[in-house]
Amino acid sequence: MVQVNVDLPKCTGCAHCRDVCPVNVFEMKPRDQFPGVVDDAAVAAKFQFRTERSAVINGPECIVCEACLFECEGECITITDDEGNLHHSTYK
Ligand code: SF4
Ligand code: SF4
């Protein structure tokens, strides 16, 4: 089973992942639903955080197209495919 993970402390809430995913793996949720998450200092310094985060809700539907990996400005998405290979964000 393909597993998609978002490293929440690094997520800027840009919603690029939700916008590009062809199978709707991502949903934006209010940041206050993750009270234990502390913003990554380096990411916070680089981007202006918004009031949303992304959360994975339909991970098994991921088809590993890698579109989200190219667009994730927080470089916080990791995907483990059916063969156990890791795919990381590659935003430039
Ligand atoms: S790799 Fe493709 S299908 Fe999987 S979560 Fe990212 S955009 Fe969606
Ligand atoms: S693209 Fe990355 S930084 Fe932007 S909302 Fe999605 S997971 Fe967060």
Mean pLDDT value across the chain: 89
For 3, other C-beta atoms within 10 Å of its C-beta total 14
Q: Give pTM, 2 decimals.
A: 0.91
Q: Name the residue range of residue 9's domain.
A: 3-88
Residue pair 27/64 in contact (Cβ under 8 Å)? The answer is: no
Position 59 scores a pLDDT of: 65
Residue type at position 84 = G
CA of 62 to the centre of ligand 1 (A): 5
Whether the Cβ atoms of residue 6 and residue 54 lie closer than 8 Å to each other: yes
User: Residue 79's closest CA among 20, 91, 71, 63?
Assistant: 63
- Per-residue pLDDT in tens (0 to 9) along the chain, 92 residues: 899 999 999 999 999 999 999 999 999 998 888 888 888 998 888 888 777 888 877 667 899 999 999 999 989 999 999 999 999 988 77
The structural domain count of the chain equals 1
CATH of the domain at 34: 3.30.70.20
Q: In ligand 1, which atom is closest to the CA atom of 65?
A: 2
Helix, strand or coil for residue 78? strand
DSSP 57: S
